[in-house]
Amino acid sequence: MPTALPTALITGATSGIGAAFARRLAAESFSLVLVARDEHRLEQNAAQLRLRYGVDVEVLPADLSTEEGLSGVESRLRDGVQLLVNNAGFGHPGAFLEVPVEDEVRMLKVHCEAVLRLTLAALPGMRRRGAGAVVNVASVAAFFTRGTYSASKAWVVNFSESAAAEVGDPRIKVMALCPGFVRTEFHDRAKMDTSGIPGFLWLDADKVVKEAMRDLALGKRVSVPDLRYKAIVAVGRLIPQNLAARVSARIGR
């Protein structure tokens, strides 16, 4: 009998890094489960992936800031997947004190609670099968101090490293992916002014995913794509936090 293809579930799968993961994994013959809020766009992306790569693509519309959305994705993960990519996320257009508290809580629900619950839903099946991987998309912002976004991404990094240590099985990998500025819809959706960001700091989503998959195969628990950002993170860990915060504020959120 033919061996079943591995399955990957990707949240925030309709654009940016999530869509890049979908393309990469489809090219590697993964069956896909695509999760996002926009069902029409999910269906469009799924049709393109089926046509181009000839793989099975399931769409699962879900808003991860709601209990209904989270529960639905948890249930699908308990059915079994070989790879989970927790990519869903967003930014706020205003500074910390300007953002309504309900919007801040919604960010924590998507960036933290969803990552926690979906990872915990996926890992038991991976442990039973003795193989699997979870990629939690964080950000270089995790290593700096810039409002709730960077704080939530710092949690993702710490959680991913902790989960990997708790699992304690080299066949089951948990990794935080920490890209810098990536050319996606993220900043436009958050209504962020990116005009002050130097051109050399922008990364390509497909290249970010390529490096992430390489680091995952190597068993890294934290992946920082691109030498430029590796250097930025290294310097950020050495300089005083108040100076790092001022630099972060000048470059952008």
Q: What would the pLDDT profile of 114-150 be if each residue is shown by its tens digit?
A: 999 999 999 999 999 999 999 999 999 999 877 899 9
**Structurally, how many domains does the chain consist of?**
1
Residue 208 located in a structural domain: yes
Residue 244 located in a structural domain: yes
pLDDT surpassing 90 at residue 207:
yes
Residue 210 located in a structural domain: yes
Best CA proximity match to 64, nearest among 54, 49, 76: 76
Residue 189 located in a structural domain: yes
9, 29, 101, 252 from 18: Cα distances, Å = 10, 17, 27, 22
Q: Can you tell me the distance from the alpha carbon of 57 to that of 50, in angstroms, rounded to the nearest whole number?
A: 7
Does residue 1 sit in helix, strand or coil? coil
Give the pLDDT mean for 50-54: 97
Residue 122 located in a structural domain: yes
pLDDT in tens, 62-112: 999 999 999 999 999 999 999 999 999 998 777 777 788 999 999 999 999
Residue in 143, 149, 155, 181 annotated catalytic: 149
Give the pLDDT mean for 30-49: 97
63, 111, 112, 120 from 89: Cα distances, Å = 11, 6, 10, 18
pLDDT surpassing 70 at residue 194:
no
* More confident: 205 or 5: 205
Residue 245 located in a structural domain: yes
Residue 2 located in a structural domain: no
* More confident: 189 or 33: 33
* Other C-beta atoms lying within 10 Å of the C-beta of residue 91: 17
How confident is the model at residue 48, as a pLDDT? 97
pLDDT surpassing 70 at residue 37:
yes
Reported pTM? 0.89
CA angle 144, 146, 151 (to 5 degrees): 75
How confident is the model at residue 98, as a pLDDT? 79
CATH number for the domain that contains residue 204: 3.40.50.720
How confident is the model at residue 67, as a pLDDT? 98
Residue listed under structure tokens 């290593």 = 143
**Domain housing 36:** 7-251
Minimum mean pLDDT range among 31-40, 176-185, 239-248: 239-248
pLDDT surpassing 90 at residue 39:
yes
pLDDT surpassing 90 at residue 244:
no
Q: Examine the residue annotation and report whether 149 is marked as an active-site residue of this protein.
A: yes
Mean pLDDT score of the chain: 89
Residue 137 located in a structural domain: yes
Place 2 in a pLDDT band, splitting at 50, 70 and 90.
very low
How confident is the model at residue 51, as a pLDDT? 98
Query: What ranges in the chain are assigned the alpha helix state H?
Result: 16-27, 39-53, 67-78, 101-108, 114-129, 147-167, 186-189, 205-217, 227-238, 241-251
* Other C-beta atoms lying within 10 Å of the C-beta of residue 253: 21
| Residue 17: CA count within 13 A, CB half-sphere | 28
